């Protein structure tokens, strides 16, 4: 039976490590996944619209700080890794994994343009007996509504001659404890045959697979994980503001509460949400829920609290400057940390950008320091910041704002800076008159 043999052929090629794996999007998700396949012995074809990335990879170089170059160079030298901007080569791959961005547009509604455009690029070059896996974060129903319908319109029968799954990425850049291999992987198929093919796709490279009943369920799992974090971060951010009025240090409270061995999970406040998941994913669900006349008020309230935190930081800036007899306008302010979290060069959706924008709109002279982001890269929302360079920590400033708790700042003592520090992460020891919380 032809259809049966096509599925069996895919599974056989995956299980024998004879398959070629196509990775579309070679960023913080796609590149680690590509390298994991190489480690096992698969051939990987990386596809990306950015020629800088493909050139770097083919030169054996890494453009992401926490990803070492050794495995890249080895993969290229052994012929296991190829990277190209030529999407017409998609037919060479036995599986195509989409790891492209799913941001929000300027109306804070889902923007699936990268998913759709990537699919449109490969669609003319697909062949029978291929697996297509979406790893980007969408709203429930995206895999069927946006990908399956386009595949069927092109003449493919999903589950018969081509196999479609959704398997959400769970990367945590810079986390030394968990990596691509050790993080359990959710997988949902459009049909039972699709699920079998998807499990074979990931079976040799991930230690534990978690199959679920459908792609919609898998999509919902991803949203639940990140909405859970968003809501709890909003809670602790709101508690921080309340406790600050009571002269209580929220960071001390969280540390003490964390000693309870059951019924408590620590979350930490900050200047706002960053990264490509937590600030964005909740809005994918709230947008889709409106289609079903469901008001996700709890989730939306959490979003409002988290997106307001940069404004709270700026309010604290004005209060601290006022205590020093200075106005915000024309004040010289140094932002410590541009990446959205410590130890990485990932500045996607970083709240530091919003703080920088608000401060400059109000007349402040703002510079930044980040050991991992030497130059600001172009972005859609903050394109006007592109090209700015990280400046030395020590200088003639009126205020420092600690936005990201990079360990490189451990050697900085507030007494050395010559002006106050506004600490948004509970990083510095409390020194009255020198360190202020935000």
How far are the Cα atoms of 420, 424, 438 from residue 272, in angstroms, in the given order?
21, 9, 11
Q: Which of 136, 46, 49, 59 is nearest to 100 (CA)?
A: 136
Q: Is 277 a catalytic residue?
A: yes
Q: What is the three-class DSSP state of 104?
A: strand
Burial string for 229-248 (b: 16+ CB within 10 Å, else e) reads bbbebbebbbbbbebbeeee
* Pairwise CA distance, residues 15 & 196, whole Å: 12
d(CA 242, CA 239): 5
Phi-psi region of 418 (alpha: psi -120 to 50; beta: other; left: phi over 0): left
Question: What is the helix (H) or strand (E) element at residue 336, kind and residue range?
Answer: strand 332-336
- Widest CA span in the chain: 82
Name which of 363, 358, 373, 419 is nearest 394 in CA terms: 419
Instruction: Please give the structure tokens belonging to residue 174.
Output: 């810079």
Give which of 157, 174, 106, 162 is closest to 129, Cα–Cα: 162
Bridge pairing between strands 421-423 and 399-402: parallel
By residue count, the chain amounts to 438
Asked if 75 and 35 count as a contact pair (C-beta separation under 8 A), the reply is yes
Catalytic residue among 194, 277, 403, 419: 277
Q: How far apart are CA 49 and CA 51, in angstroms?
A: 6
| Residues with catalytic roles | 277
């Amino acid at each position: 039976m032809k259809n049966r043999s096509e599925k069996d052929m895919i599974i056989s090629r995956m299980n024998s490590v004879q398959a070629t794996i196509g990775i579309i999007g070679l960023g913080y998700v796609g590149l680690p996944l590509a390298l994991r396949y190489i480690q096992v012995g698969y051939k990987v074809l990386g596809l990306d619209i950015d020629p800088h990335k493909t050139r770097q990879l083919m030169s054996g170089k890494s453009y992401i700080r926490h990803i070492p170059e050794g495995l890249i160079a080895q993969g290229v030298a052994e012929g296991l890794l190829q990277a190209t901007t030529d999407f017409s080569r998609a037919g060479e791959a036995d599986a195509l994994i989409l790891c492209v961005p799913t941001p929000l547009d300027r109306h804070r509604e889902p923007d699936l343009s990268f998913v759709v455009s990537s699919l449109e690029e490969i669609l003319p070059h697909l062949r029978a007996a291929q697996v297509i896996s979406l790893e980007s974060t969408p709203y429930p129903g995206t895999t069927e509504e946006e990908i399956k319908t386009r595949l069927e319109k092109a003449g493919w029968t999903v589950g018969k001659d081509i196999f479609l799954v959704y398997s959400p990425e769970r990367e945590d850049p810079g986390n030394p404890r968990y990596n691509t291999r050790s993080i359990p992987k959710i997988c949902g198929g459009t049909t039972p045959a699709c699920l079998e093919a998807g499990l074979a796709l990931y079976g040799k490279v991930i230690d534990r697979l978690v199959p679920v009943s459908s792609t919609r369920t898998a999509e919902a799992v991803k949203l639940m994980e990140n909405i859970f974090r968003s809501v709890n971060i909003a809670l602790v951010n709101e508690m921080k503001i309340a406790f600050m009025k009571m002269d209580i240090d929220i960071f001390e409270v969280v540390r003490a509460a964390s000693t309870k061995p059951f019924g408590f999970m620590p979350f930490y406040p900050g200047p706002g949400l960053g990264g490509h998941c937590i600030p964005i994913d909740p809005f994918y669900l709230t947008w889709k829920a409106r289609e079903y006349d469901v008001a996700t008020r709890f989730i939306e309230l959490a979003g409002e609290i988290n997106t307001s935190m940069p404004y709270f930081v700026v309010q604290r800036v004005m209060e601290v400057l006022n205590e020093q007899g200075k106005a915000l306008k024309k004040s010289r302010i140094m932002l410590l940390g541009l990446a959205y979290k410590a130890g990485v060069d990932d500045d996607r959706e970083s709240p530091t950008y919003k703080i920088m924008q608000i401060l400059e709109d109000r007349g402040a002279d703002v510079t930044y320091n980040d050991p991992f982001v030497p130059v600001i890269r172009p972005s859609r929302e903050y394109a006007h910041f592109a090209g700015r360079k990280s400046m030395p920590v020590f200088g003639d400033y009126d205020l420092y704002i600690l936005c990201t708790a990079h360990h490189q700042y451990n050697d900085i003592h507030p007494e050395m800076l010559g002006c106050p520090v506004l600490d948004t992460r509970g990083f510095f020891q409390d020194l009255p008159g020198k360190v202020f919380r935000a």
